Every structure is written in C-alpha cells, then in structure tokens.
Structure 1
Amino acid sequence: MVRTLLRKPASRTALPPIAVLLVLLAGAAAYANRPVPFGDRVAVPGVSDARPVSSETLAADGLELRIGPGLEAYDSRTGAHRWSYRREGAVALGLVRSGGDAVVVWDDGLVTAVRPGDHRVRWHRAVPGLDSWLRHGGSAADTAEPSAAVGTGAPAATGRQRGLATAQERARAVLHPVDGPEPWLAVLTPSLAMAFRERDGDIRWIIRPPADCFYDPARAARTDADLVVVRPCADGDGTGTARAGRAEGFGIDGRHWWLRVGPQARPARLDGQRITLADGPVLGVRVIDAGHGAPVPGCRSPWAALAAQLPAGHCPAPAGKSAGGRSGGR
C-alpha cells in the first residue's frame, strides 16, 4: 500500500523537459514585454530630441530640468543632456520643486514626483477632473480655431497651439508645494482641492466647494507651512454675478480656518507665517496669520497698542490701506 502511494506519477501527467523550457521562455518574454505602468519611459544619457513646450526650468541637484514633451535633465555646469523621462501619450505641462522631488503635471490629469539625482519615478497620483480642466476649462473660445490674423503679416496660431498654451497657463497655477515641517503638495482646480504628502504621495485630504462656488488656483499664497486659497461664489441666479466668498487656510491635515472676503480678494505671501489679503477699496489690505486665520494689526494701526505681541519682521500697512499707504478708496 505504501509503495502505491509513493509511486511516480504516470508519464502522461508530467511535462517533457522541452515543454517546461518553452513555458519558462514564454513567461519570461511576456514579463519583459509587459505594459509599463503609466507609460513611463526613462532614457539615459544621450541627446535629447525634445523641443520644449515651455520656457519653464528648474534647478535641482546640479541639474537644469526642462519641460520637454516630458521632463528633460541637463548638467547645469556643462549643459550636457543627462536623462529624459517621458510618458507615452501624455504631455508634461507644469513643473515645481516639492521637498527633494521634481513634480510634473501632465495633460491627462496625472501628477508625478521624480527624484532628479537618480531619475527615479517615486509616485503617480491621478486628480479627478484635472485633465478636463487643463484641456477644456474656461470658455469655449479657449480651444476654438481662431480666424486668420489680419494686418499683422504673421500666421494665426492653430487651435491646437492655442489650446496647449492655455493648458500650460492653467498648469502653472495647479501645483502648490508647501515646505512644512512635513513637505506637502496641494493640487487646485476650480472644482477640487487635494493634498498629498510629498515623501510618499499619500493623500491627506480632498475638499470640493459647494454649488455655485469654486476655488481659484491663481489666487493662492503659500507660507512656510500653510496655503491660503480664495473661493469665490456666484449668485446662483444664472447670471454668474460674483458675490462674497471665502479665503480658506489649509495645512497638511486639512482646512484650518476661513474668512469671508469680497469677490476680488487676492492673497500674497508676506513672510513665513503671514499673508496679505487685498480685498477691494472698502476692506483694503489685511494682514492674516496663515496658520490661524487671525488678523495681524499693522504697526501703525490703532489696534497695535492692544496687541499682545507686535508683528516681527516686515511692518504691514494697517487694514484699509494699500501697500503704498494710500487709502484704498482713492
């Protein structure tokens, strides 16, 4: 009985050695030719065949990084081409430095972090609706075929060229790196605010504005650890008339505060902790602590005497005054 259990399988159940070899070779070929995730292609070194689609450059780790149709790296001292990073079927539109990485935004809505020193792709993240906004956001005229130029003697740009230029302009406002103590990256579109931890691409938060309101990526300001974004709103009566909105303050762990602002409010960095908020002729320019949303009195403000601590560094103009010191109503 024991011999029966231990006997060798019948020859018809075992693959011949040649068949085993063929199976292994087929598996190895399939593995070698498997689709590359996200269409990644890295070539090093060599002569770049890229014709830059943007004048953007970024210095990092002894390299000059340029937007190609992908990302091109050149030795900052000699100008020699070091490496190219491309994604099949996608065009790189914007580039920022975040932490130790170069972060690229692509026309298909993907955001990619690349370590410049060894051209290692560290993470990819897809942002919902980003591709649609980059390509088609704004008015229909952004992507319409223009009529021929009249009286200039120069040919009109094609609809594709104009569409690419518009997408590049939007892409410049999309990425907002914040140093932190823990570096993080905000990605803004009108319909979405999203944040990633820089070191691993971990999603920290996703916030959508309510109906009839939107985030304005071009009206954002960063301090050392925080991001302030304006969220305008419309009346909701179908006319698109602007009404009061919000300025919202974000950290790596989410939204910390908000202030009601006028429809034209615009933040700007003042220093590592504070922003200025230009809010029309009535409210003028306010100085805000970006971490808490608290107004900071100007050095000449009547409220300065009541402040527990006067602001250090720059002396902001008092509320209701422009940066030049003249009344906002004049």
Structure 2
Amino acid sequence: MAIRSRLLAPALALLLAIPLLAVAHQARPAPYGDHLTVPRTAPARVPHATPRLRTHGTALQAHDPRTGALRWRYAREGRRPLTSLHARGDVITLWDDGLVTATDGRTVRWHRALPAPGDWLPAHGGTGVLRPLGHGMLAVVTPRRVAAYRVADGDLRWVLPARDGCAFRPERAVHHSKTLVVAQPCPQAAWTAQLVALDDLGRIVPGRVRPRLEHPNPEKVLAQPR
C-alpha cells in the first residue's frame, strides 16, 4: 500500500501541473510584441482580391476591397507602423523601431531588423524605404545601404553599401520599368555617379549578364559600393 501511494503521488502532481503549464504557455508574450487578430465576422478570402490597408492608431488594418469589412488587425506593443505595401499576397510593414515584418493575415511570417534605425528613422520616417523589385524580391532602402530580401521567407539576398561620404535617399527613389533608381548624393561627384540602378539581382552595370536561373548561388552577396 505504501509503495502504491508513493507511485500515485508523482502521477497526481503531474496531472495537476499540466493545466498550469498550458496556462503559462498561453500567457507567454508574443515574439516582438505581435498581436495579429482576425475577427470572427471577417469575410471569406477571395483569391486575387487585394485588401485595402489602413493605419488606425498604432495598428495596421486590412479591409475587404468590396465591402470594407475588417479582415485582420496587426499591432505591436509600444510600436506603430510607418509604411506598408503588398507583395505577393503578403503585407510588408516597416515599424518605428526599424523592424520589417511580413504577414499574410493569418500569421506574422518573418521579422527583419534594420541596422541602427535610431540614427535616421525618427527624422526620416518610412517614406520610400520599402521598394518592390519584382521576381518576389523586396528592397529596403536606408541611407547607409540597400538590402534585398526574398518576400517568401525574408531571406537576405544581397546588400549594397553606400559609397564613402555618400548616402542613399529613399524618398527620392523611383521605379522605371523593372528598374529601381535610387538617389545617392555625393559631394563633388558627377551626377551619373549619384544615381544607382537596381533590380532583383542587385546593381545594374554595363555588361552584366542576367543568369538563366534566378539567384543560382544560395550564398548571400555583398555588392561593392560604386
């Protein structure tokens, strides 16, 4: 009888601990302070129907383009969204702490942090920072560098640093056909050196040949400043 009691005591303790462990798991703070909510009354998803994005307070909201009904709401604790764009079914958002996120309205699929955002983001804001490059690629333009990420998984594909003594101007970047042209003002430099042409593979230079297979080398590429 004593042996049975000694065996039952740990088993009962384990059974009592399981609900407590479940509650503790649910009470854990979401990574990066994410709060993505989908209303029960959210309309059914329609293929190729791009939701309308709207910033409401400190949250980003997606609304049905036909009815205006709320599809989902995404917020981060203590943060606010600066700018967002659609990219291959995802919504890419830049936040005021320099974090870039991607959500499909069901989950937040990836997070990427910009280097030293406090040096420029508070004064600049998010104008022009997020730029689609085509072929499922996203450019994040900051004064010190341009980085390209694969939208599907947030994988960093290449980085182009600004020239010494120069800085990129995200708000002055423009798209021309499939090319992103970014201003890079440099003192005493020819105007041609102050414009940088980019696409999903990186900097466009004379004589560059586009490979038949996109991004055949899975390793990250550090583009040389020019």
TM-score by length of 2: 0.75
CA deviation string 1:12-31 (max 9, x = no partner): 69852221123323322221
1:116-265 alignment to 2 at 5 Å? 118-137=105-124, 167=125, 171-179=126-134, 182-234=135-187, 243-244=189-190, 245-257=193-205
Q: Rg bigger for which structure? A: 1
Distance 1:62 1:97 in 2: 8
1:61 aligns with 2:14: no
Task: Give the Cα separation in 1 of the matches to 2:90 and 2:23.
Answer: 34
Q: Over residues 225-284 of structure 1, what are the superposed CA-to-partner deviations in whole Å (9 max), with x where a residue is unaligned?
A: 4322222213xxxxxxx54343222232322328xxxxxxxxxxxxxxxxxxxxxxxxxx
Q: CA distance change for structure 1 residues 62 and 192 in 2, over 3 Å: closer, same or farther? A: closer
Correspondent of 1:45 among 32, 39, 45: 39
- Partner Cα separation in structure 2 for residue 123 and residue 94 of structure 1: 17
When the two chains are superposed, the root-mean-square deviation of aligned CA atoms in Å is 2.9
Shift of residue 73 of structure 1?
1.7
Decide whether aligned partners of structure 1 residues 11 and 257 sit closer, same or farther in structure 2, where only a CA change above 3 A counts: farther
| Structure number with higher strand proportion | 2
Q: Secondary structure at the match of 1:219?
A: strand
Aligned sequence identity (%) = 39
Question: Aligned match of 2:62 in 73, 86, 89?
Answer: 73
In structure 1, the gaps of 5 or more residues are 1-8, 48-59, 138-166, 235-241, 259-290, 293-330
Describe the SS at the equivalent of 1:16: helix
Alignment partners' CA distance in 2, 1:187 and 1:62: 22
What's the TM-score once normalised by structure 1's chain length? Answer: 0.53
How many corresponding residue pairs? 198
Q: Secondary structure at the match of 2:78?
A: coil
**Aligned 8 A contact 2:145 2:161 in 1:** yes
DSSP-derived class of the 1:42 partner:
strand
Question: 1:199 and 1:190, CA in 2 relative to 1: closer, same or farther beyond 3 A?
Answer: same
Structure scoring higher RCO (CA < 8 A, sep ≥ 6) equals 2
- Kept in 2, the 8 Å contact 1:227–1:249? The answer is yes
Q: Indicate if the aligned counterparts of 1:90 and 1:108 stay in contact, CA closer than 8 A.
A: yes
Q: Of residues 87, 92, 97 in structure 1, which corresponds to 2:86?
A: 97
The CA distance in 2 between the partners of 1:224 and 1:15, in whole Å, is 72
Amino acid in the other structure paired with 2:13:
A
Change in 2 beyond 3 A, CA 1:204/1:125: same
Residue 223 of structure 1, CA deviation: 4.2
3-state SS in 2 of match to 1:95: strand
Matched to 2:165, the amino acid is D
Is the CA contact (8 Å cut-off) linking 2:162 and 2:168 kept in structure 1? yes
Instruction: Deviation per CA, 1:192-248: give whole Å up to 9, x if none.
Output: 2111011111101122223311111122223454322222213xxxxxxx5434322
- Distance (whole Å) between structure 1 residues aligned to residue 93 and residue 80 of structure 2: 10
Q: Is the counterpart of residue 112 in structure 1 residue 101 in structure 2?
A: yes
